[in-house]
Amino acid sequence: MRRDRRRRPIAAALASGAAAITLLVACTTVTNGAPSSLRARSSSTPAPGSAAPSSSPPSTPPTSPCPAAYAAPDPKRPKVSLAFTFSADLATVRGTEHLSFTPDKPITELIFRLTANTLPTVAEGNRIVVSTATADHGAGRATFTAAGADPSTQGGLLHIPFAQKVPAGTTVTADIAFTITVGAESFDRFGRSGDGAQRYSWIGSGQPLLAWERGFGWHDEELIRFTAESASSEAMDTTLTVTAPGKDTVIMSGNPKDPPVAPGNRVWRSRIAAARDVSVAVGPFAVSDTVVQGVHLRVGAYAPALRDALVPEFQRAIKELAARFGPFPFPSLSVARLPAQGGGIEYPSSILMLDGSRLVTVHETAHQWFYAMVGDSQALHPWLDEAFAVYAQHLVDGESEQPGTLQSPGTVDKSTESYGDEVDTYYFVTYDKGAAALEEARAVAGAPKWDAAMRCYVNKNAWRVANPSDFEAAMKQFPKSIAVLTLAGALP
């Protein structure tokens, strides 16, 4: 996620005066070109689509081999079928979820996160109501816990309990039916804009989201009190079916073929081999379909001029980020430029754009590597995707954090929930100070060696949920960099 900083209440809740100055400067530093020196370095990295460096950097210990390419998704990952049906006015979405899940530890229940019931999301008129939730292996009646959700809702977490402990390695299946009410337009995962023929609706994290992390267990952290991410979910083998008014176009995760125009509803279907979540946007989008480096890029916008401005920006973002971190992780990227303002929100192989800037374009595209492919707990370690997305943004645009950012107060590796209502502090410490720490760590390691090690980290942790210890292991060959990251509180 990236908020549009021009709309950010800069003076509020900041840790220091120096930080406030940093932000003001940062507002004006969106640039459209990297310095030639950076481009020269960039062009010397392996071409996208080619394998990552085939030999380990000389200083890599033999115990940490660098994989030659992205690790394959876990064959035991969950399998989920999601179906969403939008009403004619796009204000209501009926959904079903069929899940097949093989835990790597014994379980006594299934836990799902009900993101739509987050306080500020409900305040805009959104919510999810679960009507049925069942599972096999003698599962009992579903229950809900508040978990910080708006008190007028069912709660923030859905639980399906089992009568007896289900052993590790047992496949359980669950079926859930639910209804989402889509509220007013705002910078959020849910919203609705316009009226008559020009109305749009979007949902992200609409379904009850399985909250399991292999090797960790259930993530039952509370929903947060501001608009940001706080989910932790595994990359799942995902099938997505969306039914929407036939005159509209659906822009969603995966790469659905548009069904033939027909009266009544139309149905869009996609399958994503490994996706932690999905987004869906519906409306009379002006659409562009292009192919960049083998990736099908679909950009839908509420006005043709906005579409035409965004297409080259996304093409460039895909190319330049791929040159840095490896081939684009998905066969397709679907972008919905919505008639609302505030920033951007990333989903696996899809992006909700409530902004048209290059900064947000690159930031959200960078999340396709850091969050969508190399996952993290957005609840407990949000810096592992947000600081990395800012870092990636700066690398491709030849920017860096403002001086003093790294020295500002704040512990980079902190849970999102721990910030309470302090939204600006969360954004500053997690995004900016985190990126400043990565940039300084890179500088003291030496950029070429650091960049090679970063590729190893990405390859090794692809399609997994990475933790700070994984990043530390990837970078332990650079003790001075580890010291920088530790001092910033990014590593323990």
Could you give the CA distance from residue 288 to residue 213 in angstroms, rounded to a whole number? 36
Which residue among 203, 209, 389, 423 contacts Zn ion (CB under 5 A)? 389
Please, which residue, 1 or 157, has the CB nearer to Zn ion? Answer: 1
Torsion of CA 457, 460, 463, 465, to 10 degrees: -60
Query: CB of residue 374 vs Zn ion: minimum separation in angstroms?
Result: 14
Q: Verify binding: residue 38, Zn ion, rule CB under 5 A.
A: no
Among the listed residues 466, 406, 430, 375, the one whose alpha carbon sits nearest the alpha carbon of residue 3: 430
User: Which residue minimizes CB distance to Zn ion?
Assistant: 1
Query: CB of residue 367 vs Zn ion: minimum separation in angstroms?
Result: 6
The interface with Zn ion within residues 160-179 (CB under 5 A) comprises none
Please, which residue, 180 or 389, has the CB nearer to Zn ion? Answer: 389
Please, which residue, 1 or 465, has the CB nearer to Zn ion? Answer: 1
Please, which residue, 135 or 438, has the CB nearer to Zn ion? Answer: 438
Q: Which stretch binds Zn ion (CB under 5 A): 184-192, 198-206, 263-271, 389-397?
A: 389-397
Question: What secondary structure does DSSP assign to 266-310, as a single string?
Answer: EEEEEEEEEES--EEEEE--EEEEEEETTEEEEEEESSHHHHHHH
Site string for Zn ion, 2-21 (x = CB under 5 A): x-------------------
Query: CB of residue 390 vs Zn ion: minimum separation in angstroms?
Result: 8
Q: Verify binding: residue 1, Zn ion, rule CB under 5 A.
A: yes
Query: CB of residue 4 vs Zn ion: minimum separation in angstroms?
Result: 12
Among the listed residues 325, 306, 323, 180, the one whose alpha carbon sits nearest the alpha carbon of residue 242: 180
Query: CB of residue 228 vs Zn ion: minimum separation in angstroms?
Result: 9
* Contact predicate 106/167, CB 8 Å: yes
Q: Record the tokens describing residue 93, joined without a space.
A: 């979405």
Query: CB of residue 346 vs Zn ion: minimum separation in angstroms?
Result: 6
Please, which residue, 234 or 386, has the CB nearer to Zn ion? Answer: 386
Q: Which stretch binds Zn ion (CB under 5 A): 106-114, 133-141, 381-389, 404-412?
A: 381-389
Query: CB of residue 384 vs Zn ion: minimum separation in angstroms?
Result: 11
Query: CB of residue 178 vs Zn ion: minimum separation in angstroms?
Result: 27
Number of residues counted as binding Zn ion (CB under 5 A): 4
- Helices 358-366 and 383-397: crossing angle, nearest 10°? 130
Please, which residue, 1 or 299, has the CB nearer to Zn ion? Answer: 1
The strand pairing partners of 272, in sequence order, are 238
Query: CB of residue 325 vs Zn ion: minimum separation in angstroms?
Result: 15
CA 458, 459, 464, 467 torsion: positive or negative? Answer: negative
Could you give the CA distance from residue 369 to residue 42 in angstroms, rounded to a whole number? 17
Site string for Zn ion, 219-258 (x = CB under 5 A): ----------------------------------------
Question: What secondary structure does DSSP assign to 85-135, as a single string?
Answer: EE-TTSSEEEEEEEEEE--SS-EEEEEEE-GGG-HHHHHTT-EEEEEEEEE
Compute how many other C-beta atoms are within 10 angstroms of the C-beta atom of residue 480. Answer: 12
Q: Which stretch binds Zn ion (CB under 5 A): 29-37, 101-109, 160-168, 386-394?
A: 386-394
Among the listed residues 434, 446, 452, the one whose alpha carbon sits nearest the alpha carbon of residue 384: 434
Query: CB of residue 471 vs Zn ion: minimum separation in angstroms?
Result: 17
Q: Which stretch binds Zn ion (CB under 5 A): 1-9, 189-197, 247-255, 448-456?
A: 1-9
Q: Which stretch binds Zn ion (CB under 5 A): 37-45, 142-150, 348-356, 382-390?
A: 382-390
Which residues, at least 6 apart from 234, have a Cβ–Cβ distance to it below 8 Å?
Answer: 74, 77, 78, 210, 212, 213, 214, 276, 375, 465
Q: Which stretch binds Zn ion (CB under 5 A): 176-184, 378-386, 422-430, 449-457?
A: 378-386
Q: Verify binding: residue 374, Zn ion, rule CB under 5 A.
A: no
Three-class SS state of 413: coil
Query: CB of residue 399 vs Zn ion: minimum separation in angstroms?
Result: 16
Please, which residue, 224 or 389, has the CB nearer to Zn ion? Answer: 389
Please, which residue, 133 or 336, has the CB nearer to Zn ion? Answer: 336
Could you give the CA distance from residue 94 to residue 105 in angstroms, rounded to a whole number? 32
* Contact predicate 319/293, CB 8 Å: yes
Please, which residue, 48 or 382, has the CB nearer to Zn ion? Answer: 382
Q: Record the tokens describing residue 100, joined without a space.
A: 């097949």
Could you give the CA distance from residue 287 to residue 69 in angstroms, rounded to a whole number? 33
* Contact predicate 44/322, CB 8 Å: no
The radius of gyration computed from the CA coordinates of the chain, to the nearest angstrom, equals 22
Please, which residue, 109 or 439, has the CB nearer to Zn ion? Answer: 439
Query: CB of residue 362 vs Zn ion: minimum separation in angstroms?
Result: 11
Please, which residue, 82 or 435, has the CB nearer to Zn ion? Answer: 435
The DSSP symbol for 53 reads P
Please, which residue, 111 or 374, has the CB nearer to Zn ion? Answer: 374
State the residues that interact with Zn ion by CB under 5 A. Answer: 1-2, 386, 389
